[in-house]
A and B are shown apart, each in its own frame.
Chain A
Amino acid sequence: MTDTAEPYVDAGHAVSNSTLAEIPGTAPDVTSGVNYERIRNARGAEPHNWLTYYGAYDGQRYSELDQINAENVSRLKVEWVFQCGAVGLQAGATTYAFEASPIVVDGVMYITGWDGWCWAIDAVTGQELWRYRHAIPFDVSLCCGNVNRGVAVAHGKVFYVTQNAHLVALDATDGKPVWDKVYGDVRAGESATVAPLIIKDKVIVGSSGGEFGVRGHLDAFDIDSGEHQWRCYTVPKPGEPGSDTWPADGEAWTRGGANCWLTGTYDPELNLLYVGTGNPAPDFDGEVRPGDNLFTDSLVAVDPDVGEIRWHYQYNPHDVWDYDSISEHILFELDGRKVLAHFDKNGYGFILDRTDGELIRVFPFVDRITWGEITPDGQVTPKLYPEKEGEPVHFWPGPAGGKEWTHAAYSPQTGLLYVPIQEVGATATRRRREFKEGIPYWGAGVAVDIEDAYGMVTAFDPATGQEAWRWRNDTPMCASVLATAGGLVFAGEPTGEFNALDARTGEQLWQFQCGSGHHSSPSTYSVNGKQYLAVPSGWGGWIEGFNPGMLGAPHGAALFVFALPD
């Protein structure tokens, strides 16, 4: 109690921090008309927008915009920069990273940051229009950093997930919450980082937490009401299809992993959602979970109306290298056939028939693969893995994979796939531990190589699996690439450089130093006929896994937007 009898000065009521930031608090209503049909027709109908996570359902990360092209890209300039930085103590204080892909609708950008941030930004000027910040518990379980990969927009709302596994729907005009649903159990070690996907009248999200021994799942919610529609587990219970790939007795399936922590792609004609699943748990100790462990490390083709798996293709049966297969499945036509391409952590690229999962082609896309071999007919033979307790085993690629979650691209213009590649090995030493809920469940000690690591962006011909060109880098490439009709491929480096490469030759045509490494998914859009490139820069996340030689590199959190001079 105070030692004075004077009445207290009235300090009033606390105010939202954004009221002290000269933010309008409103954005134009550009998303009310965004619906399933518009997203379905995004490719072709509205190339000026980036309407969904990959730009279109096909996951190509290709834009038909060509104002910025191979002839003039050297003239690109910074148009504006958006920054936020850290405020107060935040979860995973040293691991935050800017990993999102900017969504743009008719001149308004919607993007998430780390630690619960979501913003609407004027896509021409960079002015912050509104913000929403979900309060994130400091002690939430995060395997791989305080990150988030972006939003979905439709029906006048902005949807994103929080690190404590909420799916939040915001009013797109002012950032106020419309509904908020919990879809994961933080006490079990679950979290959320995925960018939601809109299909028809549903918002679809997946869970994170594969390093904590959870049971992976997809969830669907009604766009308007937020009512839960279905849950699809990616590890079956006893008696369900695939359960015979788990031990008949015991509880291995209850903590089996297979988290879907990355956005899927979708074929509206087949009505199939293609989702990659994560590693089994424990990651490296396979002896406690004999069997193939379905549906870990798999492509699952899901009927989005009901949340049922129609078919699957498992890339890493009985994974003991932490080779999540979460990476995107890029949809395109090859010789009139509906196919998909997937570049797995295990170092192999796959071309599958996307109607039924038939393997068409498999080929290595990295220089060094020692964990095992996959033959052209898809037979998997493990060779090196942490088999004996306490015995170190070195293998390539390391647990972050020859390609991590960051995305490849496909250009219909060149017919080539462009892949960001990490040439990094690791040593795993099996160390068995008992399972305890909420505690990391790896089953090994792991040290990823600091030396002898490099990277590249490589172009592949999906018709042959042959390399068309490669652009080599001294450190692993850890950011999504972006292809455009301007004959360009854009790729960010861990050392901060953002590059434009010639899509046909790989020749470097332009570079800009952003001051912090790239671990995000750039997008492109146009407003009033002017094309822009949006590039989140902010090094962080699971660096010790995908590029430990860059653990001491500058952190940051800036969104750079580039354009040609007027």
Chain B
Amino acid sequence: MEAMATPTEQRAVTLSDVGLDTQNKATIGRVLATGKIEQAKEDSDGRMSATIRIQPDQLVFEPSVLVLPHGGQVELELINDDKNTHCALLPSNGDSQFIWLVNHSRGTATLSLDGPGYYWFSSPTGNDEGRGLTGAIVVMGDTPPEARLDRPTQPRP
């Protein structure tokens, strides 16, 4: 096995080599957010949409990190391809959104989120959340100009 400290580009390879991106290999479950990263689709009118699947026997949302280009409303298609039952509790302004996903099922959700910032979602049944079924929705963008500070551009990290 190679050294544990790896450059970023080797992270996926090392996760796989160690067995942290699968169930019951390196540890009991799967380290969070080790699935794919994908960007939501955006129509010409600004409507955002994406599909998130639950993979068989992997307890992972794919993508496990969904990236939205900006704040607003996103339409999600949620598909459980697993042979076990899961669910999803998703962040949204107003109230969290819940959907029960029996094996081999498909549902939808509408979320309203501010940007910038990122939010966790999960399957709150059993310990799906700890085994791997916790994902992130990343919302890019900036605060509206009228809300920003009146000052010169500042250095960032």
Given contacts A17-B96, A135-B113, A177-B94, contact A11 B147 (CB under 8 A): no
Q: Which residue of A6, A89, A254 has the most chain B CB atoms within 10 A of its CB atom?
A: A89
- CB pair A215–B149 under 8 Å, yes or no, is yes
A-contacting residues of B (Cβ < 8 Å)?
56, 76, 78-81, 88-110, 112-114, 116-122, 124, 129, 134, 136, 139, 142-144, 146-152, 154-157
Q: Is A266 an interface residue (CB 8 A)?
A: no
B156 to chain A, nearest CB (A): 5
- CB pair B154–A9 under 8 Å, yes or no, is no
Q: Which of A135, A180, A183, A435 contacts B154 (CB 8 A)?
A: A435
Name the A residues within 8 Å of B121 (CB-CB).
88
Alpha-carbon distance A251/B97, docked complex (angstroms) = 44
Alpha-carbon distance A228/B143, docked complex (angstroms) = 15
Q: Which of A41-97 contact B (CB under 8 A)?
A: 87-89
Name the B residues within 8 Å of A394 (CB-CB).
none
Closest partner residue, chain B, to A6 (CB atom): B104
A564 to chain B, nearest CB (A): 36
B138 to chain A, nearest CB (A): 9
Name the A residues within 8 Å of B108 (CB-CB).
12-14
- CB pair A88–B124 under 8 Å, yes or no, is yes
Closest partner residue, chain B, to A13 (CB atom): B108
17 A-B pairs within 8 Å (CB atoms) are namely A2-B79, A11-B106, A14-B76, A14-B97, A14-B99, A15-B97, A15-B99, A16-B95, A16-B97, A134-B94, A138-B119, A138-B136, A164-B114, A182-B144, A186-B116, A254-B151, A436-B157
Name the A residues within 8 Å of B119 (CB-CB).
135-138
Alpha-carbon distance A255/B143, docked complex (angstroms) = 18
Q: Is A30 an interface residue (CB 8 A)?
A: no
Name the A residues within 8 Å of B80 (CB-CB).
11
Q: Which of B90, B105, B124 contacts A11 (CB 8 A)?
A: B105
- CB pair B93–A137 under 8 Å, yes or no, is no
- CB pair A137–B89 under 8 Å, yes or no, is no
Alpha-carbon distance A136/B91, docked complex (angstroms) = 8
- CB pair A137–B157 under 8 Å, yes or no, is no
A237 to chain B, nearest CB (A): 7
Alpha-carbon distance A454/B101, docked complex (angstroms) = 53
- CB pair B107–A13 under 8 Å, yes or no, is yes
B24 to chain A, nearest CB (A): 21
- CB pair A166–B120 under 8 Å, yes or no, is no
Name the A residues within 8 Å of B97 (CB-CB).
14-17
Name the B residues within 8 Å of A2 (CB-CB).
56, 79, 81, 104
A171 to chain B, nearest CB (A): 12
Given contacts A18-B95, A436-B157, contact A13 B110 (CB under 8 A): yes
Q: Which of B79, B94, B101, B117 contacts A164 (CB 8 A)?
A: B117
- CB pair B98–A133 under 8 Å, yes or no, is no
Q: Which residue of A16, A137, A215 has the most chain B CB atoms within 10 A of its CB atom?
A: A137
Per-residue CB contact flags for chain A residues 133-148 toward chain B (1 = under 8 Å, else 0) read 1111111100000000
